[in-house]
Amino acid sequence: MVNPELLKWARERAELSLEEAVKKIASRKYPDWEEGKSQPTEKQIKKIAEKFYVPYGYLFLSEPPKEELPIPDFRTINNKELEKPGINLLETIYDSQRKQNWLREQKIQDGEDKIFSYKYTGEKEIITEIKRLLDIDKLRSESRTQEDFLSNLIKKLDDKEFLIIRNGVVGSNTSRGLDREEFKGFCLFDEYAPAIFINGRDYKSSQIFTLIHELAHLFLNESALDGTYHLQTEKTCNKIASEILLPAKELKKEYFNIDNIEGIAKKFKISVFVVLIKAKQSSLIREYEFQRQWKDCIENIQRIKSKGSGGDYYRTAPFKAGGETFLLRVVHSTLAGETLYRDAYSLTGLKGETFNKYYRQLGLPL
């Protein structure tokens, strides 16, 4: 028998009201099931598991399982840590961990070297190493827009065998969008397969900062979930990222007055918020100017509406799966008989003919 307590837990976990649950399950009897007055059929239980995004077996447990974030949570709002992660966030972290574990095993099996064999400690050392790794000034000069800059940064890290995932939904489920208010990104440290996830629903300029911020965490040999930055570790990574994207000496050359901030952001292909933070850190603007400009920027961003389709599916697929290098590893391993097609589909989010068509699009042999 299904446990009524687990039905309620699963519904609340999926952030559904009773009315919404009735519509999703397409049965007016649902409230009776939660109250234990009657039981759903096996077919209905399977539908509940599917619509509530919960493993089928969970509904038969004696009590709700404790779901905790598997990585340090540095998200805060008004300096207070957030208590409960959403279901979409949890599943996104778990999916990223599956990809990372697979990649780690592949690299060890192939006898490859570690990406991180040394723990960096000083801010200056990390800034220097990240700049060297990315060749960031060259990438910026080769990028026409913020989107180009972000894509080039991701491609650079992909070439260096980092696992970089940029997605705005849970896996390939377009009906389950990620909340940019809940998290901007996270990183999973591993010596062989360091991973970074960027919330694709966030603003492009913010995604650039998130990518470098998470990279700073990895250089500190840390896994982390980030939102806004108040804790000391976050302040350190925040400082590192802002110095890499906009060196203080460059800002002082470019800065004339408060009205020049948007021009600087455009030139360096970064967020106005990064320029404001650096200008304040460099004592170029006073606190009241900083607060006024910050408030204006928040209001401007809130007026922005997301536009357009997701772009060419086969062009954006590598970003969502973990990068072209990761996808190539999966397909080669699958063709060699080392990885089951079922597992390959799960790792890449591409299934059946879509899996084959993607690689034909790239001109790769199958």
Instruction: Please write the tens of the pLDDT for every residue from 46-99.
Output: 999 999 988 898 999 989 888 777 777 666 544 455 567 888 999 999 999 999
Q: Does a structural domain hold residue 18?
A: yes
Same domain? For 24 and 51 the reply is yes
Q: How confident is the model at residue 175 (pLDDT cuts 50, 70, 90)?
A: confident
Concatenated DSSP letters for 115-182? Answer: S--S---SHHHHHHHHHHHHTHHHHHHT-SSHHHHHHHHHHHHHHTT-EEEEESEETTEEEEE--TTT
Residues 299-317 pLDDT 10s: 776 665 444 444 455 455 6
pLDDT surpassing 60 at residue 35: yes
Q: Are residues 138 and 164 in the same domain?
A: yes
Mean pLDDT lowest for which of 54-68, 160-174, 290-304, 317-331? 290-304
Question: How much is the pLDDT for 127?
Answer: 95
Please indicate, yes or no, whether residues 278 and 233 belong to a single structural domain of this protein. yes
Co-location of 11 and 97 in the same domain: no
Q: Is 304 among the domain residues?
A: no
Q: Are 321 and 348 spatial neighbours (Cβ–Cβ below 8 Å)?
A: yes
Q: How many domains does the chain have?
A: 3
Number of Cβ within a 10 Å radius of residue 360: 12
Residues 87, 53, single domain; the answer is no
End-to-end Cα, the chain, rounded Å: 47
CATH of the domain at 14: 1.10.260.40
Q: What angle do CA 48, 54, 57 make, to 5 degrees?
A: 85
Which of the pair, 253 or 130, is modelled with greater confidence? 130
Which run of H or of E encompasses 193?
A: none
What is the rounded CA–CA span in Å between residue 283 and residue 317? 43
Across the range 167-171, mean pLDDT stands at 91
Domain that holds residue 344: 323-361
Rg of the chain taking only CA atoms, in angstroms: 23
Cα 248 to chain centroid distance, Å, stands at 28
Q: What pLDDT sits at residue 79?
A: 45
pLDDT digit string, tens, across residues 97-124: 999 999 999 999 999 999 998 888 789 9
pLDDT (tens digit per residue) in 255-288:
776 677 888 888 898 888 888 888 888 888 888 8
Q: For the chain, give the percent of residues with pLDDT over 70.
A: 87
Question: What would you measure as the largest C-alpha separation in the chain, in angstroms?
Answer: 72
Q: Are 331 and 344 in contact (CB under 8 A)?
A: yes
Same domain (yes/no): 181, 99: yes
List 76's β-bridge partners, or say none. 81
Q: Is residue 264 part of a domain?
A: no
226 in the same domain as 141 = yes
